[in-house]
Chain A
């Protein structure tokens, strides 16, 4: 276990400023802080940086957005990093999430002693990045039409769509590649080729599991809970229920806006943990706080925020919190593009080799599951 931790943030006037330190006896020079900052600017965000300082070794994690925060773990003498990378990353993520949303609740001693962690992003969180990265969803839409496309052609197309010279196809494609939605391969004679191997869809699912749990073991709230869910998903006419598959060409449509919200909730580590708890069963505030290890005041704030988004609601005179709608991003096989792909092969717009490779990739991805 690291023997200490400190947290610093970047200030354009004061440089790296230390805000929390545990134990308070850790001594840091301006040079130490500069080295930590330097390694983060040089390295990749989202990964741990190891730095040998003049009289200590540290491992640190920085926030991806602005303002820049850096969590620095001071390693014990002779302490190996191998084997505890996940713990350090987990604790780092926990602190960064707290700093962003509940800075007054940050307790570095508690984090270190009780190993408070936020797990690594799940697939659905990685999918969420597609909807939160500018132009990434646009690129996905294009792939939903094409199935297969050349990287160079995609870049040209994107440029004409976005009409900005500075668009970086790599950054736009990154969330699609990282989450496994597209695969990029060099195919002989066709150059770098992009394949759509998974399609994703963001929507609000009914909270089936939690509702089932309530029906079986929390009879006193089951009916109210069921009614609230029904009211949202299929209210009596003339009200229209929730229909996420309604056609949307309008970029300002409420559904696209809702997709953005869903992605934001999933991507927010703290909101996501709360949602995950409530997917299982209704819980009290105290139970959620205990299960997530987040302070009660923070969980309360989150529950209210989620309530405003129609994700949570409370029943039983306010004592129990339930999931009203379950923000979900699901992946499925994009078989709908195949007829077009075959037609293009017949018309010699696509090379048979490329199409064969596509089928192989789809089979790798989905074949075994069936």
Chain B
């Protein structure tokens, strides 16, 4: 998701700044950008947007006339999506607000324009072997009646999460777990910001699911991975701590057929999106 939107004027002065979610590097970033904006010239961009990678985020920047435009987004965000947004914003700003900014007038209404443009699609993929409760989890998240029998998902089921998370539209990808569909997993987690690996908390299934963690790390290295120890109501269930230990990822308990878990789970996903991948890395260092 987009974390910051910033517009700098000719002298490196902040013309506009908006923060949707914290990004640790913000202060250093601003210094850096002010310097950058002095050195780069319009011709280098030719209307295009450049980007640069930081440990947990990616900075997109472009210059038009005397203004430098900056977006800070997650590494996991699809660059094409963010570049398009940057260009939309530049266009709107230059058309309706550039003159106001030059005259140091207030930019009335610009905040709403930014809010509208800065909404991104955030993909959350739900991965796990057949029958572990992925589709049940999807229904739980969406507040729908829970199916009682296992109707295997074919391919994938893609649904919106109605709950809002800041400026993100969340799409849930409930992948099919049957082994014949395993050839699709790598393709289907592409561009996911968060991947939830669901297990049914049996030892056999959890051990098998380690393979999924490896797959996710390889295919979407920038995505945040969460483990789910589902079916905690069953006697065979390992504790979430044990499941987390085996998988090597932060893992949370769940009874997907129990509606009372809904809010907790939504909070977990929300936090995963807001914190992004950076959180776990920074804690280590």
Residues of A within 8 A of B (CB): 12-15, 30-31, 33-35, 37-38, 41-42
Residues of A within 8 A of B121 (CB): 13
| Contact indicator A41/B158 (Cβ below 8 Å) | no
Residues of B within 8 A of A41 (CB): 183-184, 187
| Contact indicator B158/A15 (Cβ below 8 Å) | yes
B167 at the A interface (CB under 8 A): no
B191 at the A interface (CB under 8 A): yes
Partner of B154, one of A13, A15, A35, A42: A35
| Contact indicator A38/B184 (Cβ below 8 Å) | yes
**Complex Cα gap A239–B176 (Å):** 65
**Complex Cα gap A12–B176 (Å):** 16
Residues of B within 8 A of A31 (CB): 154-155
Q: CB-defined interface of B155-176 with A at 8 Å, one 1/0 digit per residue?
A: 1111000000000000101001
- A12–chain B nearest beta-carbon distance, Å: 4
27 A-B pairs in the complex with CB atoms less than 8 angstroms apart: A12-B78, A12-B190, A12-B191, A13-B78, A13-B171, A13-B191, A14-B158, A14-B171, A15-B156, A15-B158, A30-B157, A30-B158, A31-B154, A33-B155, A34-B154, A34-B155, A34-B156, A34-B176, A35-B154, A35-B155, A37-B155, A37-B184, A38-B181, A38-B183, A38-B184, A41-B183, A42-B183
Residue of A nearest to B122 (CB): A13
Residues of A within 8 A of B154 (CB): 31, 34-35, 38
Residue of A nearest to B158 (CB): A15
What 9 A-B pairs have minimum CB-CB distances, sorted nearest first? A34-B155, A12-B191, A31-B154, A13-B121, A15-B158, A12-B190, A34-B154, A38-B155, A13-B123
- B76–chain A nearest beta-carbon distance, Å: 12
Residues of A within 8 A of B123 (CB): 12-13
**Complex Cα gap A31–B156 (Å):** 8
Residues of A within 8 A of B190 (CB): 12
Residues of B within 8 A of A (CB): 78, 121, 123, 154-158, 171, 173, 176, 181, 183-184, 187, 190-191
Interface centre among A12, A34, A35 (most CB of B within 10 A): A12
**Complex Cα gap A41–B187 (Å):** 9
**Complex Cα gap A67–B190 (Å):** 13
Residues of A within 8 A of B157 (CB): 30
Residues of A within 8 A of B173 (CB): 15
**Complex Cα gap A31–B135 (Å):** 14
Residue of A nearest to B157 (CB): A30
Given A13-B191, A33-B155, A38-B155, 18 extra CB contacts under 8 A: A12-B78, A12-B123, A12-B191, A13-B121, A13-B171, A14-B158, A15-B156, A15-B158, A15-B173, A31-B155, A34-B156, A34-B176, A35-B154, A37-B155, A38-B181, A38-B183, A41-B183, A41-B184
- A262–chain B nearest beta-carbon distance, Å: 30
- B172–chain A nearest beta-carbon distance, Å: 11
Residue of A nearest to B80 (CB): A12
Residues of B within 8 A of A14 (CB): 158, 171
Residues of B within 8 A of A37 (CB): 155, 184
Residues of A within 8 A of B176 (CB): 34
**Complex Cα gap A14–B191 (Å):** 11
Interface centre among B155, B171, B190 (most CB of A within 10 A): B155
**Complex Cα gap A34–B154 (Å):** 7
Residues of B within 8 A of A15 (CB): 156, 158, 173
Residues of B within 8 A of A42 (CB): 183
**Complex Cα gap A35–B176 (Å):** 12
- A196–chain B nearest beta-carbon distance, Å: 36
**Complex Cα gap A41–B190 (Å):** 15
- A325–chain B nearest beta-carbon distance, Å: 32
**Complex Cα gap A13–B121 (Å):** 7
Residues of B within 8 A of A35 (CB): 154-155
**Complex Cα gap A330–B173 (Å):** 50
Residue of B nearest to A12 (CB): B191
Residue of B nearest to A68 (CB): B187
**Complex Cα gap A41–B156 (Å):** 14
**Complex Cα gap A13–B84 (Å):** 15
Residues of A within 8 A of B78 (CB): 12-13
- A60–chain B nearest beta-carbon distance, Å: 14
**Complex Cα gap A116–B250 (Å):** 55
**Complex Cα gap A30–B190 (Å):** 19
- A18–chain B nearest beta-carbon distance, Å: 13
Residue of B nearest to A29 (CB): B154
Interface centre among B154, B171, B173 (most CB of A within 10 A): B154
- B74–chain A nearest beta-carbon distance, Å: 14
Residue of B nearest to A38 (CB): B155
**Complex Cα gap A230–B13 (Å):** 62
**Complex Cα gap A35–B156 (Å):** 10
**Complex Cα gap A353–B121 (Å):** 64
Residues of B within 8 A of A34 (CB): 154-156, 176
**Complex Cα gap A14–B122 (Å):** 11
**Complex Cα gap A30–B181 (Å):** 15
